[in-house]
Amino acid sequence: MLDGHPNNSKMNSKPILGSPVLPIYKFCLTNHTNQGFNRLCPILELTSTEWDLLVAQLDLTMSVRRLALSFDFGKKHIGVASIEVSSRTINPKGIVKANNGRPNLPQLDFIVQTWKPTDLVVGLPLHMDARPSTMSRAAQKFGTFLEKRFDLPVHYVDERLSSDEAARRSEEDEPDHALAAVVIGESWLHEIVRVRR
Q: Residue ranges per domain, the chain?
A: 1-64, 67-196
pTM (2 d.p.): 0.63
User: What whole-number distance in Å separates Cα of residue 166 and Cα of residue 23?
Assistant: 46
CB 85: neighbour CB atoms within 10 A? 19
Point out the least confidently predicted range of 73-77, 106-110, 163-167, 188-192. 163-167
**CATH label, 67-196, candidates 3.40.50.720, 3.30.420.140, 1.20.1440.230, 3.30.460.80:** 3.30.420.140
Question: What's the number of CA atoms in the CB half-sphere (13 Å) around residue 33?
Answer: 1
Q: Which of 15-24, 57-66, 164-173, 185-194 has the least mean pLDDT?
A: 15-24
